[in-house]
């Protein structure tokens, strides 16, 4: 028999062996996980955005049978349809500012439409601004062209993709309320394409389709009509007149053309052998292009189609009723690429490993200056109810706007209103003043024409959404209360665009560090024969100085003037 001492030694040895085996098992698991992670890096998904303009859910996938859209329907049948997706604004530039940053427009000073000529990328040397823009703020002061300046920690989310090895291309719209930084895209312009990437490099590609934009309603009015005007859905807030059927028909006709363009993109992906290696997003930047749709802060202006097709039939044909904000696209793309979204983002991932654990309870929207018309409204939507707070109730709901009055039905309805010829639901949207609060139940009132704000039966819901909106405005520090002239002066002190400082080079421990003293600046660089070209690499880690003979670098912070070029020999 073993002595007490011997038994103690044996038990100790057994414990040490057990611990040793556990550590060996842990090390083995770590090796396996690392190998799987490396394989995952090699097999990162391609991601493609089909970005479209100015359409609400006027698709069969969302229950509208006015027209046939076989290619978009195919995406819905093979993908995930999000039934409660909402933009942050009912117009393109503020909405797109939220998409590229993952931040609410009203929280970063991007809420007024439009701040400058940012709809297309301009080379840094071409980034100039008019000091007299024929626009006035709420106090009647001149508002110059400008670029929004978000807090220094805010980045365009494509920089995170580029740092992770993705090839990013944008064909070709930006419209971010600031000039697209040179660090945002590998390639931007009408010819930008994922085909131009390096072999086996994962890509994030954006193709923007303007065929459904508001302007195409009047620009294409003499084109052949592809939709059956007698079979289309006319919203209750429009009188059923020939001119209305003509322009609503044009909206549907343009969607048919859009569907054809979507089909070509899908065919191109399939021919390249990429269809089952690519995650496809289909979305519109905000709701429809007509009165009480575009620029509106309710369901008609904010609800959008959003379809995501995963490779190889994953979740094919499924529907998700969770509330999704369109700005959630940014962290969702990062999540699907295996990149943890930055904590500062107000947006939440709705797919991928970093999907938010708790879905949104509400979507929030904003409406402020639209071209020459100054207003301010905020909204909160829960998928059924819409609550709107009007901060300038003395103004009419339908204000004068030169751009949209190029649409025939718009000018006709304005004239009819002035002659007192509109009645019923059509007259409702031409209210001469607004109530401070609006509440609509879209389940029984899809066109938002029966305000329930003063209905005693709906006071509980009214108070719930009123409080939710107030809390949100405090949380995001809503900048809509600052007159635009003063807001510009805060972002551009003295009304002069701030400039990004030069890039500095520093050798440290055998590596070359590129730095910029401007808080929040990103750095781009070119090497050797690339210098002088349009494409800039994103600096995200130290360089090996012996790898290149010459390096050119410049820095840019969002909304700032891009720095001059620094060189390192």
Confidence band for 22, pLDDT divided at 50, 70 and 90: very low
pLDDT tens across 365-381, in order?
Answer: 999 999 999 999 999 99
pLDDT tens across 156-169, in order?
Answer: 999 999 999 999 99
Question: Regarding predicted confidence, which is higher, 32 or 223?
Answer: 223
* 516 annotated active-site: no
- Output the pLDDT for position 11: 52
Out of 58, 92, 211, 487, the active site residue is 92
- Output the pLDDT for position 134: 82
Confidence band for 98, pLDDT divided at 50, 70 and 90: very high
459 sits in which H/E element: helix 459-476
- Output the pLDDT for position 10: 55
The answer to whether 542 touches 480, Cβ cutoff 8 Å, is no
Mean pLDDT of the chain: 93
Non-local CB neighbours of 350 within 8 Å, separated by 6+ positions:
82, 320, 322, 324, 328, 332, 356, 359
Q: What is the Cα–Cα distance from 288 to 299, expressed in whole angstroms?
A: 10
Confidence band for 132, pLDDT divided at 50, 70 and 90: confident
Cβ neighbour number for residue 569 with a 10 Å cutoff: 8
How many CA atoms within 13 Å lie on the side-chain side of 401? 21
Measured CA distances, 460 to 297, 301, 441, 452, 465 (Å):
22, 25, 13, 11, 9
Question: Regarding predicted confidence, which is higher, 220 or 5?
Answer: 220
Q: What is the Cα–Cα distance from 205 to 171, expressed in whole angstroms?
A: 8
The answer to whether 101 touches 150, Cβ cutoff 8 Å, is yes
Question: Regarding predicted confidence, which is higher, 21 or 323?
Answer: 323
- Output the pLDDT for position 64: 97
Q: What is the Cα–Cα distance from 97 to 111, expressed in whole angstroms?
A: 9
Confidence band for 95, pLDDT divided at 50, 70 and 90: very high
What is the average pLDDT across 465-479? Answer: 98
Whether the predicted pLDDT of 254 surpasses 80: yes
Q: What is the Cα–Cα distance from 524 to 513, expressed in whole angstroms?
A: 12
- Output the pLDDT for position 133: 77
Whether the predicted pLDDT of 239 surpasses 50: yes
What burial class does residue 245 get, using C-beta atoms within 10 Å of its C-beta: 0-12 exposed, 13-18 middle, 19+ buried?
Answer: middle
- Output the pLDDT for position 28: 34
pLDDT tens across 354-363, in order?
Answer: 999 999 999 9
pLDDT tens across 382-440, in order?
Answer: 999 999 999 999 999 999 899 999 999 999 999 999 999 999 999 999 999 999 999 99
pTM, two decimals, is 0.91
- Output the pLDDT for position 36: 35
- Output the pLDDT for position 395: 95
What percentage of the chain has pLDDT greater than the value 70? 92
Q: What is the Cα–Cα distance from 216 to 258, expressed in whole angstroms?
A: 12
pLDDT tens across 261-283, in order?
Answer: 999 999 999 999 999 999 999 99
- Output the pLDDT for position 314: 96
Measured CA distances, 7 to 15, 16, 17, 21, 224 (Å):
12, 14, 15, 21, 95
């Amino acid at each position: 028999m073993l002595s007490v001492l011997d038994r103690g030694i044996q038990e100790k040895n057994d414990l040490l062996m057990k611990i040793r085996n556990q550590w060996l098992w842990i090390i083995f698991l770590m090796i396996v996980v690392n190998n799987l992670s490396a394989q995952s890096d090699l097999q990162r998904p391609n991601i493609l955005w089909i970005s479209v303009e100015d359409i609400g859910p006027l698709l069969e996938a969302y229950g509208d049978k006015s027209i046939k859209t076989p290619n978009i329907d195919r995406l819905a049948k093979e993908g995930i349809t999000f039934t409660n997706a909402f933009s942050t604004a009912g117009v393109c530039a503020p909405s797109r500012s939220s998409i590229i940053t993952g931040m609410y427009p009203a929280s970063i000073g991007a809420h007024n439409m439009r701040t400058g000529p940012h709809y297309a990328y301009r080379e840094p040397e071409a980034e100039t601004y008019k000091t007299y823009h024929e626009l006035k703020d709420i106090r009647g002061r001149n508002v110059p062209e400008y670029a929004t300046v978000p807090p220094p920690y805010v980045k365009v989310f494509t920089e995170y993709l580029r740092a992770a090895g993705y090839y990013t291309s944008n064909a070709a719209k930006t419209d971010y309320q600031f000039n697209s930084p040179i660090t945002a895209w590998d390639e931007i312009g009408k010819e930008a394409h994922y085909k131009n990437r390096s072999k086996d490099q994962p890509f994030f590609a954006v193709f923007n389709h303007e065929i459904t934009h508001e302007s195409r309603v009047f620009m294409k009015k003499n084109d052949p009509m592809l939709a059956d005007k007698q079979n289309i859905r006319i919203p209750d807030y429009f009188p059923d007149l020939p001119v209305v059927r003509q322009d609503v028909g044009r909206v549907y006709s343009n969607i048919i053309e859009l569907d054809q363009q979507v089909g070509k993109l899908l065919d191109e992906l399939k021919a390249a052998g990429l269809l089952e290696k690519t995650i496809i997003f289909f979305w519109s930047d905000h709701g429809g292009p007509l009165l009480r749709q575009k620029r509106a802060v309710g369901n008609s202006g904010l609800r959008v189609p959003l379809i995501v097709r995963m490779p190889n039939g994953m979740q094919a044909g499924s529907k998700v009723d969770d509330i999704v904000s369109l700005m959630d696209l940014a962290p969702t793309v990062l999540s699907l690429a295996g990149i943890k979204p930055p904590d500062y983002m107000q947006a939440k991932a709705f797919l991928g490993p970093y999907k938010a654990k708790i879905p949104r309870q509400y979507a929030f929207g904003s409406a402020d200056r639209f071209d020459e018309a100054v207003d301010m409204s905020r909204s909160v939507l829960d998928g059924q109810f819409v609550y709107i707070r009007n901060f300038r109730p003395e103004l009419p709901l339908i204000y004068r706007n030169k751009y949209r009055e190029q649409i025939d039905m718009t000018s006709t309805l304005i004239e009819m209103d002035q002659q007192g010829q509109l009645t019923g639901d059509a007259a409702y949207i031409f209210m001469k003043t607004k109530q401070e609060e609006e509440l609509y139940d879209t389940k029984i009132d899809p066109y938002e024409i029966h305000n329930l704000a003063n209905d005693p039966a709906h006071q509980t819901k009214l108070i719930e959404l009123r409080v939710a909106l107030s809390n949100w405005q405090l949380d995001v520090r809503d900048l809509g209360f600052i007159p635009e002239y003063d807001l510009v002066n805060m972002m551009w002190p003295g009304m002069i665009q701030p400039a990004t400082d030069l890039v500095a080079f520093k050798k440290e421990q055998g590596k070359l560090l590129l730095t910029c003293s401007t808080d929040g600046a990103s750095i781009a660089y070119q090497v050797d024969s690339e210098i002088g070209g349009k494409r800039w690499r994103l600096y995200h880690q130290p360089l090996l100085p012996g790898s290149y003979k010459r390096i050119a670098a410049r820095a840019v912070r969002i909304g700032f003037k891009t720095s001059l070029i620094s060189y390192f020999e």
